[in-house]
Amino acid sequence: MDAGQDARDAKRRLRSKLRAARRRLSPDSQARATDALARHALAGPLAQARSVVGYLANDGELDIAPLMDRLRRAGAQILLPRCRDDGSLELVAVEPGSRLLESGPAGLLEPAGDAAELDTITLPATLITPAVALDRKGNRLGRGGGSYDRVIPDLRDRGWEVLGICHADHVVATLPTEPHDREVDAMLTERGLVRPEVQATSSSRRS
């Protein structure tokens, strides 16, 4: 078996284990984590952001809807990702009451409406990437589709910051990685902000 297959198998095993673990968290535990996450975000990495791409939580992910509401009230533009047929992401600006549609085999909710022109989005801008796990170097374990890995290089070239979010207990020492994986610039959990131990010298963070 080659190294690439080993990494994919290790990712699948870890993804399955951690997704099951976060689904077992109680509603009270998730609510406390949601409140703490918002406090840390507004005091740090998102304090100055004028545009923020969020996500709609499911499968035990940390819920950032309250954080997005507070950022909107503070004047930030809020966008949500939508998956194209080729698996890449486009970004759609949303307001309270914006229409959401079920899409894909999992019935995930995605925004309706026209995709935003990236050149018109005001900086400083942050892409929030939900993660199953993150490691100390900023590597991210997602759901396995690679959609965020496709969009990160373009946004980073435009001056965006990439913020990975996961439960604090799912920040691990080292994750299995593949060449297409893109690192995050910072990591946020309910316990606060974590910067990667090794900063942007790798091509995955630069490109």
Please classify residue 163 by burial: count the beta carbons closer than 10 Å to its beta carbon, then call 0-12 exposed, 13-18 middle and 19+ buried. buried
Residue 96: what pLDDT?
87
Q: What are 126's two structure tokens?
A: 């942050």
Low-confidence stretches of the chain (pLDDT beneath 50): 200-204, 206-207
For 115, other C-beta atoms within 10 Å of its C-beta total 15
Residue 207: what pLDDT?
46
Residue 192: what pLDDT?
95
Residue 104: what pLDDT?
60
What domains are defined for the chain?
3-206 (3.40.50.10420)
Residue 3: what pLDDT?
66
For 76, other C-beta atoms within 10 Å of its C-beta total 20
pTM score, whole prediction: 0.90
